[in-house]
Amino acid sequence: MKIEGKEYRTIWFDEDKKIVKIIDQTKLPHQFIIKDLKTVKDAIIAIKTMEVRGAPLIGGTAAYGIVLAVLENNDLEFIKKSSEELIQSRPTAINLQWAVHRMNNKLSMVNSDDLFNVALKEAKEICDEDVKFCENIGLNGLKIIEEIYENKKATINILTHCNAGWLATINWGTATSPIYHAHKKGIPVHVWVDETRPRNQGANLTSYELNEENIPNTIIADNTGGILMQRGEVDMCIVGTDRTLSTGDVCNKIGTYLKALAAKDNNVPFYVALPSSTIDWDIKNAKDIPIEERNSDELSHIEGVDENNEIRKILIYPNKSKAMNLAFDVTPAKYVTGLITERGISKASSEELKKLFKK
């Protein structure tokens, strides 16, 4: 998608310098900085500090992290240790371990002279596949928006949480892909963007990327969705996910569950958009999903630009107050209207998911 009219992906490989390039998302929307990742350690730090974030992009970065590991030292022990460190860099998004396992499976089949070329090819394939999957998610989700538009014949108001946009994937996004496709087709859409405290991915990233694509959007405080739904000002919700169980339970950014409850109470359809790489086929009980707890500094401090356009971080809480920062919650399948995947729309149930993916 575009930034200042220029097409970008969120991650790519510089063939000449043999390094990975990312857009540093900790500086958006105030500064657009392309950063180099030269070692697997750089990739691990980028994931931990959320210079890259969003489940599919974390997966893509981990895949390129393995490429960088192979370039540094193609000894299998080093690749194994790097793989473990990558997997531990963030616990909730399953795309991370999925990508690392896929890379290692591929590498286990080749001899050491071919490791780099095979790793690079596989990392590119993981990213290209994500782009294709997200595009298909958009085309499948478009059908739902078209149906609502046929009845309403006026602007469709869509509420989204966090950033499940193109910045969270390699391109297109998951939750935003149907929105981009509807906009391209000329269907009038307006997006209610949850600010998404504490890191403000909605305000800083979703609103930013929608602005760059000229899609009307309004940032709202995280608790505003309920009253908007009561007033009939939300036609549908679409969110992303970091891990969806085969049972249809959806783990996503903290606060998603409360939006789903409000949607249920107000008969607003609540959709979750995801590529199949985000499905966890193993864990059956939502309580077993590892929920990341991040530093409470992310709550007690806030970042923005000052009058000189410099990024500053300030304390907003009482000095002595304790704070707790759980990064994700789980929305039970019963509150999910449907899962928009690259293969089609599925009910949030193991029977339907298994049917769609022939497991």
Q: Catalytic positions, please?
A: 242
Among positions 10, 42, 43, 54, the unique one binding ligand MRU when judged by CB under 6 A = 54
Decide: is 191 part of the binding site for ligand MRU (CB under 6 A).
Answer: no
Counting Cβ atoms within 10 Å, is residue 298 exposed (0-12), middle (13-18) or buried (19+)?
Answer: middle
State which of positions 148-177 bind ligand MRU (CB under 6 A). 162, 164, 168-169, 174
Is 240 near ligand MRU (CB under 6 A)? yes
How many residues belong to the site for ligand MRU (CB under 6 A)? 17
* Least distance from ligand MRU to the Cβ atom of residue 74, Å: 30
Residue 53 touches ligand MRU, criterion: CB under 6 A: yes
Instruction: Return the SS3 of 286.
Output: helix
Residue placing its CB nearer to ligand MRU in the complex, 79 or 142: 142
* Residues 257-316, interacting with ligand MRU (CB under 6 A): none
Q: Which range touches ligand MRU (CB under 6 A), out of 53-61, 212-220, 282-290, 314-322? A: 53-61
d(CA 34, CA 6) in angstroms, rounded, equals 14
Which of 82, 200, 201, 277 touches ligand MRU (CB under 6 A)?
Answer: 201
Q: How many whole angstroms separate alpha carbon 338 and alpha carbon 344?
A: 10
Nearest to 253 by CA among 300, 206, 213, 217: 206
**DSSP for 76-97?**
HHHHHHHHHHHHHH-SS-HHHH
Q: State which residue, 93 or 119, has the beta carbon closest to ligand MRU.
A: 93
User: What's the one-letter identity of residue 51?
Assistant: E
Let me know: does 220 contact 194? Beta carbons within 8 Å: yes
Length of the chain: 359
Q: Among 43, 56, 225, 235, indicate the residue that binds ligand MRU (CB under 6 A).
A: 56
Query: Interface with ligand MRU by CB under 6 A: which range of 31-39, 47-55, 184-192, 347-355?
Result: 47-55
Q: Which is nearer to ligand MRU, 71 or 283 (CB)?
A: 283
Residue closest to ligand MRU (Cβ): 240
Beta strands of the chain (E only): which ranges?
2-3, 6-7, 11-14, 19-23, 34-37, 156-160, 189-194, 217-220, 236-239, 243-245, 250-253, 270-273, 279-280, 301-305, 311-315, 328-331, 338-341, 344-346
CB 82 within 8 A of CB 69: yes
Pick the binder of ligand MRU from 140, 204, 241, 346 (CB under 6 A): 241
Q: Is 253 in the site for ligand MRU (CB under 6 A)?
A: yes
CB of 129 to ligand MRU, least distance (A): 14
If the CB atoms of residues 156 and 162 are measured against ligand MRU, the closer one turns out to be 162
CA dihedral sign of residues 150, 156, 159, 160: positive
* Other Cβ atoms closer than 10 A to 280: 19
Interacting residue with ligand MRU among 171, 206, 252, 331 (CB under 6 A): 252
User: Is 90:47 a contact under the CB 8 Å cutoff?
Assistant: yes
Binding of residue 93 to ligand MRU (CB under 6 A): yes
Q: Specify the residue for token string 């393995």.
A: 66
Binding segment toward ligand MRU, per CB under 6 A, in 10-18, 48-56, 316-324, 348-356: 48-56
Among 242, 249, 280, 329, binds ligand MRU (CB under 6 A): 242
Residues near ligand MRU (CB under 6 A) are: 53-56, 93, 162, 164, 168-169, 174, 201, 240-242, 252-253, 327
